[in-house]
Chains A and B, each alone.
Chain A
Amino acid sequence: MPSPGRKQQFFAGLRAEAPILLGVAPFGLIFGALALNAGMPAALVQATSSIIFAGSAQFITAQLFGAGASGLVIVMVVFVVNLRHVLYSASIAPYVKHLGLAWKVALAYLLTDEAYAVVITYYQRTRSDPAGPGSPDRRHWYFLGAGLALWVSWQLSTLAGLLIGARLPESWPTGFFLPLTFIALVVPALRDRPSVVAAAVAGLIGLAGAGLPFKTGLLLAALIGIVAGTTAERRDQRAAARRVA
């Protein structure tokens, strides 16, 4: 089998991302509308979609800005909300380690939840040397195709939201897309007991701390959930070791 060329890889990535765009485009449209309603200037709403380029963080930025939160609080919340990207970075890193700095910078910029989900699956099910030992690994073109497809649709849907935003009925529960997207991301990953423990503990404490100001309840819940997950993992390993012994 000949090694897939750059163009084939690029378009394969683009096609793989296509179904996700159907779910993401309305999300971008709603972001544009909501951010405008929250009082952000249109130019900055569009700039947010290219500078931050992370759906949930952008929603929270707009909501916090609308609620009068300080810049420092917004920055801290964006940090916490986007901390999961460190995990994506660590998981993708071995596959892109041979690339130059420009590629690493470009692909890191495009490393959204939706691109990660598609790209890591592709990396895991394909070989680095498709045309035999020593043949070039061009899978970063697939990554670029998937990432750019998402980027372009995100910019265009934000623009569409800015243009038709004022006409979205007030009673539409558009904000509900935020928890729904998180559910779509987190639930499929709850395949082992420690992850379920981490999620359950964080969810309960998040609920109990929901009244705390500036999302401190969220931060507290996340930290305790992480400790609970790590503890559960250690307990499981000790139990497994006892069974072996």
Chain B
Amino acid sequence: MTLLATIVIAGAITFGLRLSFILLWGRVAVPIWFQRALRYVPPAVLTAIIVPELATWQDRLDLSPANPQLAAGLAAALVAWRTRSIPLTLAVGMAVLLGLRLVTG
């Protein structure tokens, strides 16, 4: 698969996912169990991406305080919880990471 073909297919899939229910609403009966399970897709998938990402420091898993991404991630989570603001979460998380890296060298 060429890179262009990959991008086009990935784009078509993304568009299809976004269009899915908008197009099918009222035309197709969706089973209740499926609708229920769908509700937990975002917290499950996104957290499964976030946690290993935060825990990976200098190309290996590091759950010690020497990994500044853990503190930065926690600070960002706190800001996200309190403010629900995406820009503020990004700013605080990045500031804590850069600050800790300065302190620890």
Q: Which residues of A contact B (CB under 8 A)?
A: 19-20, 22-24, 26-27, 40-41, 44, 47-48, 51-54, 56-57, 61, 65, 70-72, 74-75, 78-90, 92-94, 96-97, 104-105, 107-109, 111, 114, 117, 173, 176-190, 194-196, 198-207, 210, 217-218, 221-230, 233
Tell me whether A51 and B8 are in contact (CB under 8 A): yes
Q: Tell me which of B40, B49, B84 contacts A182 (CB under 8 A).
A: B49
Bitwise interface map of B from 69 to 97 toward A, beta carbon under 8 Å scored 1, else 0:
10011001100110011110111011001
Bitwise interface map of B from 54 to 73 toward A, beta carbon under 8 Å scored 1, else 0:
11100001000000010011
Nearest CB on B from A8, distance (A): 24
B29 within 8 A of A: no
Tell me whether A97 and B25 are in contact (CB under 8 A): yes
Tell me whether A84 and B10 are in contact (CB under 8 A): no
Tell me whether B13 and A75 are in contact (CB under 8 A): yes
Q: Which residue of A lies closest to B26 (CB)?
A: A97
Of the four ranges (under 10, 10 to 19, 20 to 34, 35 or more), the interface on chain B belongs to 35 or more
| A52 contacts across to B, CB distance below 8 A | 7, 10-11, 14
Nearest CB on A from B12, distance (A): 8
Central interface residue in B13, B20, B47, B55, by most chain A CB within 10 Å: B47
Q: Tell me which of A74, A187, A204, A230 contacts B6 (CB under 8 A).
A: A74
Tell me whether A229 and B10 are in contact (CB under 8 A): no
Tell me whether A180 and B42 are in contact (CB under 8 A): no
CA distance A44 to B10 in the complex (A): 13
Q: Tell me which of B30, B37, B47 contacts A203 (CB under 8 A).
A: B47
Q: Tell me which of A84, A85, A177 contacts B90 (CB under 8 A).
A: A177
Tell me whether A184 and B50 are in contact (CB under 8 A): no
Q: Which residues of B contact A (CB under 8 A)?
A: 1-11, 13-15, 17-26, 30, 33, 35-56, 61, 69, 72-73, 76-77, 80-81, 84-87, 89-91, 93-94, 97-98, 101
Nearest CB on A from B47, distance (A): 4
| B1 contacts across to A, CB distance below 8 A | 70-72, 75
Say whether chain B's binding surface is mostly helix, strand, loop, or mixed. Answer: helix
CA distance A183 to B86 in the complex (A): 9
| A27 contacts across to B, CB distance below 8 A | 90
Q: Which residue of A lies closest to B17 (CB)?
A: A85
Tell me whether A206 and B41 are in contact (CB under 8 A): no
CA distance A88 to B41 in the complex (A): 11
Tell me whether B10 and A74 are in contact (CB under 8 A): yes
CA distance A222 to B72 in the complex (A): 23
Known: A199-B43, A229-B44. A183 touches B18 (CB 8 A): no
Q: Which residue of B lies closest to A52 (CB)?
A: B11
Central interface residue in B7, B20, B23, B61, by most chain A CB within 10 Å: B7
Q: A75-B13, A176-B94, A207-B51 are in contact. List 8 more A-B contacts (CB 8 A).
A: A40-B3, A79-B10, A86-B17, A93-B21, A93-B22, A198-B43, A210-B52, A229-B39
